[in-house]
A and B are shown apart, each in its own frame.
Chain A
Amino acid sequence: MNLHRLGVKFFAGDGATIALPEFLPVFHRWIQQSVLDELLLDVADYSHVHAGPGVLLVAHEGNYSVDETGNRRGLAYYAKHPQSGDVAAMLLAICAKTLRACHLLEREPTFAGKVKFSGDQLQIFANDRLNAPNTEATATALRPAIDGLLAKLYPGGKCEVVRVPDAKERFTVNVKAPADVPVGELLKRIRGE
């Protein structure tokens, strides 16, 4: 499957809501301190739009976003350029980047523990209507890569994977895992630590 524009979003948990503009200085600091292992370019503020990409940390390989698409806040990361490995390997790498950013935000001192992510709900999407239209065929083709990812995150657990059926929207599946695992633990699992 010729596909690299994949993305993963972990949803924010219940609790205090941080105003979107408060993420701006955090992302700028990440750039200053080269916190992530990739070329970070800029921060884009879309806090004024409804249910949109919120605040973006634009990187060369992909974008991080405190994303509110679908009226649900979460941290999304999606790739823009091909990475090494097959689709399954790329999906693992993308999910690892998402979890790393989630973990950093949870530990961000300025948020004083108010940012939490649900470790049992995530979304996997493909930004590519040519190679991954929102169809059952795509779901079938991507299933092994998705299963491989979920087996790493939730070994032995049975996850519910449901495709969002709207044909006009990009290919998206919502995943409900059997247990709410802290993102720090998920990060360890995906890294094989």
Chain B
Amino acid sequence: MNTWKQVLSDRMPAAWAEEIDVFETQIALKKQGKVDDKLFAETRLRRGIYGQRYDNGQRHDGKAQRTLTFPSAGLLKGTDTRWDAPGMQRIKLPWGGMTPEQMDALADVAEEYSDAICHVTTRQDIQLHFVHIEDTPDLMRRLAAVGITTREACGNSVRNVTACPIAGVCRDQTFDITPYADACFRFLLGHPDVQDFGRKFKIAFSGCRENACGLVTMHDMGFIAAIREIDGAMKRGFEVRVGGGLGAVPYEAKVLEEFVPEEEILPLTQAVSRVYARLGEKRNRARARIKFLVDRLGIEEFRRLVREERKVIPHDDRWTDYIQDVPRFVDEPLKAGKAAASAGADPAYQAWRSTNVYRQRQEGYAAVTVTLPLGDITCWQMRELAEIARRYVGDNVRTTVEQNILLRWMAEADLPALFAELLRIGLAEPGAGTVVDVTACPGTDTCKLGIASSRGLAGELRQRLAARFATMDQSVKDLRIKVSGCFNSCSQHHLADLGFYGVSRKTGGRTVPHFRVVLGGQWQNNAGSYGIAIGVVPSKRVPDLVDELTAKYLAERNKGESFRTFIERSDKKELKAVLDKLAVVPPYELDRSYYSDWRDPREFTLDDIGTGECAGEVVSMIDFDLQAAERQYFEAQLHFNDGDFRKADETAYRAMLQAAKGLVRTQFQDIGDQPDRIVAEFRGRFVETGLFRDKYAGTKFAEYLFHRHEDRQRRFDRDHARHLLEESQLFIEAAHACHAGMLERAAAAKAKPAREPAAPAPA
């Protein structure tokens, strides 16, 4: 036998094996030119195979844009995705659960088909990078043989169902939500009612309301465990929320039902899915997440529709079948619980124990966080960790949304031995869940949408903060930092004390990596509230900014005041002044370091652009307008903080108009101040011509302006004002990007005739 298909035929679930065979056939047909590019792209996405940076065959090497001439030149795996370009394989781990056997398999496929690294994501998945499409069927078979499917890990489908990693061992839980999360995953996997969504759909379960673990309010649909007395008996159920999401504009999920008994959660989820599939936006990706549908309809109408739908769904035994197994869904500890004899004398052990060990609700046991730098673990470490798990905790291993791995049911008496084992394999770093445990999305390392190097910055912050962690004030240690490569928030930066996302700015005709700073988000209370964007600093000044902000907090906080409360009550102008001090970018000739990103020495430009004089006038005028838009946006935030939501909303709208007007003025000086005229001219000159089109987001940002402009029955409440603030900020970012594109084209146009021989003079 010399294929994995043959070797593993009796170890894979038959249905999964067949799906993989079908996918392999689709690969073969695609190679023969018999499958449309778009269709194949969605097919592979639904198998968790994602595009990766440079897969369009173009890469800027720091000096010039180069074409990557792959061997199978004309063959594509998506509309603009080269066949041979390495891609990313996302692997779903429902509720983050992993067994040692699965860890071994993950390590093996990472080593053989990827780059020997397993990357834990902020949704408890594992991602492998640099994978060739033709290796994926075998990769999937090897995972299927140990009970892992990659089905619907990407694409417009139900993504990984996440849950508190300490569910079942948590001291605060209402009850263990794991069997419910598992049932939800199994019920929805491949379900016909979840195949026709306009966008992805993320579900989370949380065992309590107060703690952060489940992050329910930032999900499309979320469940918070609750118990109610019904007819004299205590009944398990859930508060169900819907319509949350981070992404470019964060929405807090609304309460759909305050209490749904356990037997109703699957049919209710099915009803929600059907309403979303039927009424959710399909053509306009920018407004296709369920949060927009809930917002458009209002939660009351959405609830009514879901309840109506619930009444007509044909009965399915699976809705309740799993409930009889719930009592059996209990973790089995490998070893007897035993308290530690002493706290140990080793300071390294004590430091690790103070941050990485959680005392379980079960006497004598602890849950141990294995801190993974930037979410990465090598295949060797993964195999060693699997062995350690076999010796101490058995199958009780989970990934966390903070990109770590949790070993549950550790007998406390074994902690010193475990620490020694982790030390041996380089996984005994302390600081789990603290300021050094920086979360980062893949950013420009591998993500096609990345603007700045989130991992580079996160690595730098980790290193600097770890060096002085031991002497830090406890309240600074307790902060959380999250870094995203762009506005899409994959690192969940909105929930961090200090959140950052990548943007860029032009200085002297060159592009400089920057990060927008989002402060005071709340991780607790299931992602209780989102941070506010204060301003923008060059990438290379972010570590200094962290120092300045934490020093300011320590110097000016009230007794016992949290960072979030401090930010909330701080004068935003003062905070902005801290940023502004660091915002200056020295000229390229004086300091080139600003012009490349962390851990990526390439010059951060999209083309070799000089400071073209031809763009001079355009630059100064538009710069002025964009600056005014930024200022108005900032004022809108101040109104919001003062609770004046109407003023915040109107000012944010004006900020967008100002940015749009600035762009229009580059072509039409006398545009004037009439909103209708600005919007019409902006639409005609920038949107319909494609000038304002974002490569990936399309016209999404322009629609924010159109949507607000056309909203004649505007509701001036907190939620709408907050969303508009986010939209306004993104619109202004897009205007900056559009302006940068204009400069680049102007410079290219100027450079072109100089390189070409002069045309002969007419005779």
Contacts and interface: CB of A to CB of B under 8 A. Distances in A.
A70 B383 CA distance: 13
Interface string B360-383: 000000000000011011101101
Contacts of A44: 115, 129-130, 445-446
Nearest to B52: A42
B84 interface: yes
B381 A50 contact: yes
A46 B116 CA distance: 10
B63 A53 contact: no
Nearest to A5: B112
B4 interface: yes
Interface residues of B, number: 50
19 contacts: A24-B599, A31-B61, A39-B70, A41-B85, A42-B53, A44-B130, A45-B456, A46-B378, A49-B117, A50-B378, A51-B380, A51-B381, A52-B376, A53-B116, A63-B115, A69-B116, A70-B380, A130-B3, A131-B2
B706 to A, nearest CB: 38
A52 B378 contact: yes
B439 to A, nearest CB: 14
Query: Which interface class (under 10, 10 to 19, 20 to 34, 35 or more) fits A?
Result: 35 or more
Interface string A4-46: 0100000000000000010011001001100000010111111
Given A39-B70, A129-B108, A58 B115 contact: yes
Contacts of B425: 50-51
Contacts of B602: 28
B459 A48 contact: yes
Nearest to A69: B380
Contacts of A5: 112
B601 interface: yes
A31 B64 CA distance: 11
Interface string B508-544: 0000000000000000000000000000000000000
Contacts of A51: 378, 380-381, 425-426
B62 interface: yes
Interface string A108-133: 00000000000000000001111100
A56 interface: yes
Interface in B91-138: 104, 108, 111-112, 115-117, 129-130, 132, 138
Given A56-B115, A70-B380, 6 more contacts: A39-B70, A41-B68, A46-B378, A47-B599, A52-B380, A52-B381
Q: Give the 6 A-B CB pairs with smallest separation, nearest first.
A: A50-B426, A52-B378, A25-B601, A48-B373, A32-B61, A127-B112
A120 B426 CA distance: 28
B427 interface: yes
Interface string B452-479: 0001100100110000000000000000
A62 B752 CA distance: 37
Interface in B50-80: 53-54, 59, 61-63, 68-71
Nearest to B85: A41
Interface in A127-144: 127-131
A43 B455 CA distance: 13
Contacts of B381: 49-52
> Which has the most chain B C-beta neighbours within 10 Å: A48, A58, A129, A131?
A48
Given A48-B462, A51-B380, A69-B380, A28 B2 contact: no
Given A39-B70, A41-B86, A58-B130, A46 B380 contact: no
Contacts of A188: none
B22 interface: no
A80 B380 contact: no
B52 to A, nearest CB: 9
A49 B377 contact: yes
A80 to B, nearest CB: 7
B300 interface: no
Contact of A58 (B61, B63, B86): B86
A152 interface: no
Nearest to A76: B116
Contacts of A32: 61-63
Contacts of A46: 115, 117, 376, 378
A81 B86 CA distance: 12
A24 B117 contact: no
A72 to B, nearest CB: 12
A81 B427 CA distance: 32
A180 interface: no
A170 B85 CA distance: 25
A49 B54 contact: no
Given A41-B59, A44-B129, A170-B111, A60 B117 contact: no
A167 B368 CA distance: 28
B717 interface: no
Contacts of B601: 24-25, 28
A147 interface: no
A48 B4 contact: no
B600 interface: yes
B373 A41 contact: no
Contacts of A58: 86, 115, 130
Contacts of A84: none
Question: SS class of chain B's interface: helix, strand, loop or mixed?
Answer: mixed
Contacts of A50: 378, 381, 425-427
Contacts of B376: 46, 48-49, 52
B73 to A, nearest CB: 11
A80 B462 CA distance: 33
A123 to B, nearest CB: 14
Contacts of B61: 28, 31-32
B112 A21 contact: no
B697 interface: no
A177 to B, nearest CB: 25
Nearest to B84: A60
A169 interface: yes
Interface in B631-683: none
A69 to B, nearest CB: 6
Nearest to B426: A50
Nearest to B108: A129
Contacts of A41: 54, 59, 68, 85-86
B551 interface: no
B691 interface: no
Contacts of B117: 46, 49, 52-53
Contacts of B71: 60
> Which has the most chain B C-beta neighbours within 10 Å: A5, A39, A42?
A42
B279 interface: no
A131 B71 CA distance: 25
Contacts of A43: 600
Nearest to B377: A49
> Which has the most chain A C-beta neighbours within 10 Å: B116, B455, B601?
B116
Interface in B1-57: 2-4, 7, 53-54
A52 B599 contact: no
Given A2-B2, A5-B112, A50-B427, A45 B445 contact: yes
Contacts of B7: 130
Given A39-B69, A49-B373, A130 B115 contact: no
A168 B129 CA distance: 22
Given A49-B373, A127-B111, A130-B7, A24 B86 contact: no
A56 B381 CA distance: 18
B62 A130 contact: no
A46 B380 CA distance: 14
A6 B602 CA distance: 31
Interface in A64-80: 69-70, 80
A130 B8 CA distance: 11
A49 B378 contact: yes
Contacts of B70: 39, 60
Contacts of A70: 380
Contacts of B138: 130
Nearest to A55: B599
B445 A128 contact: no
Contact of B599 (A45, A53, A80): A45
A75 B63 CA distance: 27
